[in-house]
Structure 1
């Protein structure tokens, strides 16, 4: 790592982190990828893997040796705020100049003012405040609902039953492809000074409800797909049967209720502003992942 300017990526084995590493590697930008488990590391040109644990500050300095910028994404947990603050503090001590944090639209101005922020939104907002007070040059990314959430149980239902079960009624959201989030993060990390002090709200360019998404999926797979609207209580019961933690259930119910009430229709042009091209569409996403649905 000596005398080489690096970018450091925390959360490097997650979906967004892996996509970001792909962009950095292709651009031949030397990168330090951070993970707790090196067994999950993926070999890529220009990427060096370092093991560290955000809950153990003593492991963090090695992740940012000669690093000019850091990107942080991590899963929500009981110690989320403290762990992310540990990374921010370590970056400051290591002389990192620029810090890019993946936050959530639930922490920003796109969240409806008349509804209390979710637990996830509150946690991200607290970390955003800590980052802004750190003295680092910062850029914050606030994405909305992920298209990749349609892969898994959602797509399994489409494949097996040709049905979508959601409690959002007629309400829509401008869903975003994680690849766009990763590409925005990559663009910021290439020239962080250009984006310092900016908060980018990352949405798709089209607001869709599940009636419309069912039609889009049906068109792509050449099969009729039906949206089955659930009540909020029905949605809660289905999640409880899976053993999902109550805080997660309540967060998802809150998101569904916001969308159901028509309060999730915010569309930002920040993706196009940063990338110089439109956000990926839902139809393109379904086509790229067609085997999940067909």
Structure 2
């Protein structure tokens, strides 16, 4: 039975990787969590998953978590700036046979992204890797963007008319599970860009939310300075607001990212579209 360590196991993506792996009888899922008790509560729906203490900021937890691990799902939490050189070296020393790294779309061409450096370390490291480069998460609407939807019935972002390529994190989980559990090496040393099949503006997303939720959702595109001041007054940290500005304002001046068929090629089914996400998460988006 293949032993697979999932870091960030209780986060948006990690939880979906655990869910997809748990459905497979041929793997033992090792869920890397900072707090075992809280992890048990978050992962209670997945009996048989083994909780393993793992903290990105505490190198002392890494050796035990990596011991007897066949494959590693590695993601980079937003608050972590390290490129994981030390962790990758420890994985190699522990005999980990394959690392699947959650990067971001376009990381291969943007050396300013921390994901770019991690990709380069994996490529140069000599051990089998797979790079997953997902597009803009649909689940941002059930996390960072949810407050505006709930309280103001609006999307409030400085994205103008820029078109975005999206991905449902459930599709990331499904792809990651297949790549991690595959007994054949077909996915080794490969990079996959993960997207749905439509390019949407935030106005189009607001229209689909209006149709799916049955209540009007407006789209307001403020100036960067107004967005910054508004979010700072709401209590968001300076660094987080700046990241949101980079994520939503800069695409107004760059080419729309390409669409990929990797999800359908790997899973054998089409990726979920934004309308699917809205329908499946309607209660949460309505605050029920």
TM-score by length of 1: 0.87
| Secondary structure, aligned partner of 1:170 | coil
Question: Which whole-Å CA distance do the structure 1 matches of 2:57 and 2:177 have between them?
Answer: 26
**Does the CA contact (< 8 Å) of 1:32 and 1:64 recur in 2?**
no
| Residue 212 of structure 1, CA deviation | 0.6
Matched residue, 1:99 = 99
Residue among 35, 38, 41 paired with 1:37: 35
Tell me whether 1:195 sits opposite 2:187 in the alignment: yes
Residue among 245, 266, 269 paired with 1:274: 266
| Residue 106 of structure 1, CA deviation | 4.4
Matched residue, 1:25 = 22
Matched residue, 2:136 = 145
Unaligned runs of 5+ in 1: 112-116
**Cα gap change, 1:242 to 1:53, in 2 (>3 Å):** same
| Secondary structure, aligned partner of 1:264 | coil
Matched residue, 1:283 = 275
**Does the CA contact (< 8 Å) of 1:155 and 1:292 recur in 2?**
no
TM-score by length of 2: 0.89
Q: Deviations over 1:93-139 (max 9, x none)?
A: 11111110111124134x6xxxxx65xx2x11111111122221000
Matched residue, 1:57 = 59
| Residue 153 of structure 1, CA deviation | 5.5
Range that drifts further, 274-283 or 256-265: 256-265
Question: Which whole-Å CA distance do the structure 1 matches of 2:219 and 2:272 have between them?
Answer: 23
Q: Indicate the RMSD between aligned Cα atoms, in angstroms.
A: 2.0
Question: Which whole-Å CA distance do the structure 2 matches of 1:48 and 1:186 have between them?
Answer: 16
**Does the CA contact (< 8 Å) of 1:146 and 1:175 recur in 2?**
yes
Q: Deviations over 1:200-249 (max 9, x none)?
A: 11122111111111111111122232212212222122222234333333
Matched residue, 2:171 = 180
Matched residue, 2:117 = 126
| Secondary structure, aligned partner of 1:30 | strand
**Cα gap change, 1:155 to 1:57, in 2 (>3 Å):** closer
Matched residue, 1:6 = 3
- Equivalent residues, number: 280
Q: Deviations over 1:140-170 (max 9, x none)?
A: 1111211111114633433443322121111
Unaligned runs of 5+ in 2: none
Matched residue, 1:69 = 71
Question: Which whole-Å CA distance do the structure 2 matches of 1:189 and 1:208 have between them?
Answer: 31
Question: Which whole-Å CA distance do the structure 2 matches of 1:182 and 1:88 have between them?
Answer: 22
Question: Which whole-Å CA distance do the structure 2 matches of 1:55 and 1:222 have between them?
Answer: 44
Question: Which whole-Å CA distance do the structure 2 matches of 1:231 and 1:50 have between them?
Answer: 45
**Does the CA contact (< 8 Å) of 1:156 and 1:293 recur in 2?**
no
